[in-house]
Amino acid sequence: MQIFRIQGGSSLNGEVKIDSAKNSALPILAASVMTEDPVTLLDVPDIEDVSNMIAILRGMGVSVTREGSAVTVRAKGDLSGELPPRLEKTLRASVFMVGPMLSRTRAFTFGYPGGCEIGLRPIDLHERGLRALGVVIDESGGRLRCDGRSMRGAEIHFDYPSVGATENIMMAAALLPGKTVIHNAAREPEIADLARFMNACGAKVSGAGRQTVTIQGVRKLRGVVFRPIADRIAAGTMLASAAITGGDLRVLNAPTCDMVAQTSKLRGMGCEITEGPNELRLKAPKRLKSFGQIQTQPHPGFPTDMQAPMFTLATVADGVSLLVETVFESRFQHARDLQAMGADVTIMDRVAVVRGVPKLHGARVKAHDLRSGAALAIAALAAEGETEIEQVSQIDRGYAALEVTLRGLGAKITREERG
């Protein structure tokens, strides 16, 4: 088992460049199988979730090569009509293969996906959307067998603006006869980016990033070289790391327009933030102020993926902060570990009350999921003494060699093996 060992007390200073967004790269990798032409994606982060998606593609007979940060997908010829059971549990985003494969082959079998344990995250909206497109789904033995021979465009309304379901239906509809209209679609920037990729390949998608998305089916897609948008959550994590340590940090390749919810809260905590073309600079105060209240919401509200890092900032901010988690029901798992580090936290169902303390102290803690792991690393940077973070494989799912990045900014952090 690998751990992070972090000696707190060093401020983070310098500059860091942000890679393409994990939550954009994963569905775009899946969408690449809708054409037999080569697709090359640039600035793809070297993280576990991407490695797992590449393994899934290869397990289905897709050729995938990686040279540095460029990944090339060649989905030529016959592909497996089933998601590899041994791989699908490694990655929640494995469900993204359903839409593209049905669009291309009209038949696919898969099981329930894995990923972070942050709540139920059911796929019922995916299933309802697929059935509206004419897919017949038979469930037995924990596998879902999809027959898409009668697929056609349709009107679909989501009860909740699910990111994954919106993206899956967009991809499923791309090569269908007729027009598909998704009402109450999710509006996250990564959805607009997926549409931008699909349109570059020859698809006809309009309205992505708004509540109504229209997909006019086409007969064929072509290959493309494409750079996904930068990762707004990785950028926010770096800003939070600098904020809690009293640092001065420039974040290059930052998607500034997609980060307003984050930067406005950081400014309210006393951080000085200046914006340039695709970059942000944060200068932290001596002590952060309470942000008052954060309630996670679908975009353009405050992103649930930044709740845990902001929770950590609240533990040392002057005043009382309130966090309301409306997206996932099990996303305060970091609270117990932060309490072990001296945080004053009260949890009531999906509401956390955090009373800032002057200092946290080092402890042995565990990364329960991707974002809580990042939050604990942020806490350790500012804590007195040494912190050990176990189960760092969770952090590796979404941050490429985080310890290397933080060390380059002045942090005292090492990755070690523990038997």
Which run of H or of E encompasses 357?
none
What is the C-alpha separation between 348 and 356, in angstroms, rounded?
Answer: 17
CB 239 within 8 A of CB 280: yes
What is the C-alpha separation between 142 and 274, in angstroms, rounded?
Answer: 51
Question: What radius of gyration do the chain's Cα atoms show?
Answer: 21
At 272, give phi and psi (nearest 5°).
Answer: -95, 120
Distance (Å) of CA 188 to CA 70, 99, 163, 164, 211 = 24, 19, 7, 10, 10
- Is 116 in the active site? yes
Which run of H or of E encompasses 111?
strand 107-111
Q: Of these residues, 116, 146, 201, 271, which one is catalytic?
A: 116
**Strand-pair partners of 43:** none
**Strand-pair partners of 5:** 388, 414
Which run of H or of E encompasses 213?
strand 212-216
What is the C-alpha separation between 10 and 366, in angstroms, rounded?
Answer: 22
Task: Supply the residues annotated as catalytic.
Answer: 116
